[in-house]
A and B are shown apart, each in its own frame.
Chain A
Amino acid sequence: MSTTTETGAVGNTTPTAPAGPPTGRPAALRRWRDLGSRWLFLAPALAILVAVLAYPLFYTVRISFSELDLATFTPARNVGWLNYRTVLEDPGFLNSVKVTGVYLALALPLQMVLGFGIAFLLNVDWRGRGVLRALFLIPMVVVPVVAGGVWKMLLDPMWGFVNYVLGLVGVGPVDWLADPTLAMVSLVLIDTWRWTPFVVLIASAGLMSLPTDVFEAARVDGAGWFATLRKVTLPLLAPVILAAFIVRWLGAVKMFDIALAATKGGPGQATDVVNLYIYEKAFRGLEFGTASSMATLVLALTMLLTFLFLRLNRFLEKRW
């Protein structure tokens, strides 16, 4: 892409140029028309994205510096950094950032390890492999809010299936969603159930594409399975692992539906992830100014971390 991009409007490498060298007005006209048609390809997407993505982002930042007039629902007056100061002193917001951090720190590594582990298990060449892999698609397409609701049912202290099974081995009943720590564990559990299959699919594709001769060489050199894993498999898989991590990260920072359906952020604020907290502030509390400040902070933090992960990805891709 890069080489053709630089030539820009001249378009000397494009195949539109007819067989002979173009001369005079028709050629110029054609060139302009070609430039127009190139941009027409981009126009619909750019127009929609500017209207529904770029403009709202800009508007969020603007509201974050103003006080919203609740009669007209428009930004009324500029209050400078006041909203930000309020937000940074709001224990609820700080708690939600912490809760989100804990959730990410638990869920993402767990899903990566489980996902790659299961992909390894499923990678045996036998008749049922394709069927198992197809079945693993199913949790992934369960609507998240349904997943939250159904798991709430499974975890119910009275009639839930999980507690029934625990009862068989003499544990419980455990009121999963009523205890702050266990509620977080449950949230991570539900999210892991829904998203590990995604990692499994990515990891399976990665495992299948590993070159064979390297393993042969490792075997000839007498490497044990652990040495092979550490010195050969993991480095080779590193780009896939990081790519799967980045996609999961992009999804996980948006955590909202499952928490809303399963715990509503409770008990107390134990599972009040930041998206849920901002949603409640804005659309229940009608505190649009401070909610926008929180959203802007979350946006900045997310973009920063995403940027770092992408840089790390590129670095690793170059190294291996």
Chain B
Amino acid sequence: MVTLTATAARRGGARPGRLGRRLRIGAGIGATLLFLFPVLWMVSTSLKLPRDIFTTPPRWVSSVTLDNYTSYLTQADIGPRMANTVIVAAGSGLLSLVAGAMAGYALARLPIRGAGLIGGLILASRGVPPIALAVPMFLVARRFDLIDQHITLILAYCTFLIPYVMWLMRSFFLALPRELEESAMLDGASRFGAFFRIIVPCSLPGLISTLIFSVILAWEELLFALILTNRNAATIPVAIAGMAADTEQGAMWGPLTAVGTLTVVPVVVFALFVQKWLIKGLAEGATKG
């Protein structure tokens, strides 16, 4: 009991007895299951035959089928749209990582007149609602015939990704010891040499977690994708928005959950794989942003 209470105290919060501890663990598991349920239900529905989807009482999978995946995927351009989503998410993620990390480094470490002002503007830009950019983006893209092209969406996503990366990486670079690049530059390396050969390898965990979060943000974006694409560059969220609108009588539940599962599974695997970095990145982005 002594060690137990000591542990509880060390972890902060009040110090419950053995019963309180059990209750908290039980409630924690319950809350986790409750939050996971919709995802599990989605996956299970995607594996059901139509007649099993519409039953009272609802049931978990009785006979597993991949019909929802195979039939819909082939007929509704899901493949190309998935490819578009990957291209746009990876492209905008990488572009903002390179541009944002360099800028974040400049703000954190390099003597630049007005760095404070630039930093403040970047922080402020995180508060800009995308709808305030939507109309001109559409008009300009239309005028220059850029509607429905990957590069347009990639650049549009940079509006929220670059400020995010800059801010996150700035706090990351601030925490690195100054000696790192100082010694490199005394050895004759240029600023770029010091950055790419010393700082970047040292910051790999931060860079990767930032990249992953950026890719996720781009992966799920809907508003810009709706207005800037028609068919060629349309992403998966656009397709899903159409299907969700079609579910009045539940006709599209099978395909909707199948496509939903396809979009969620890779991200979940990705997120679980790198969860330590992800949590760190999230926590820092929040507390220092």
Contact = CB atoms under 8 A, between A and B. Distances in A.
Interface in B1-52: 7-15, 21, 24-25, 27-29, 31-32, 35-36, 38-39, 41-42, 45
A12 B119 CA distance: 22
A288 B140 CA distance: 13
B112 to A, nearest CB: 6
Contact of B143 (A73, A121, A229): A73
Interface string B224-260: 0011000000001100110111010010010011011
B82 interface: no
Contacts of B41: 150, 154, 161
B241 A118 contact: no
A126 interface: yes
B177 interface: no
Interface residues of A, number: 125
B188 to A, nearest CB: 9
B185 to A, nearest CB: 5
Given A141-B264, A146-B240, A253-B129, A45 B220 contact: no
Closest 5 A/B residue pairs (Cβ): A210-B12, A149-B244, A45-B103, A59-B136, A225-B14
24 contacts: A1-B174, A5-B115, A34-B191, A53-B128, A59-B136, A121-B27, A121-B31, A126-B25, A132-B32, A141-B264, A143-B219, A143-B260, A146-B264, A159-B55, A201-B279, A202-B282, A204-B279, A207-B12, A246-B289, A260-B222, A260-B244, A278-B131, A292-B135, A303-B128
Interface of A: 1-2, 4-5, 7-9, 11, 13-16, 34, 37-42, 44-46, 48-49, 51-53, 55-57, 59-60, 63, 73-74, 118, 120-126, 128, 132-154, 156, 158-159, 161, 164, 193, 196-198, 201-202, 204-208, 210, 212, 215-216, 219, 225, 228-229, 233, 239-240, 243-244, 246-247, 250, 253-254, 256-257, 260-262, 264, 274-275, 278-279, 282-283, 288, 291-292, 295-296, 298-299, 302-303, 306-307, 310
Given A196-B35, A282-B138, 14 more contacts: A5-B111, A14-B110, A16-B191, A38-B191, A40-B192, A56-B137, A56-B140, A56-B159, A123-B11, A146-B256, A147-B38, A233-B12, A233-B13, A257-B222
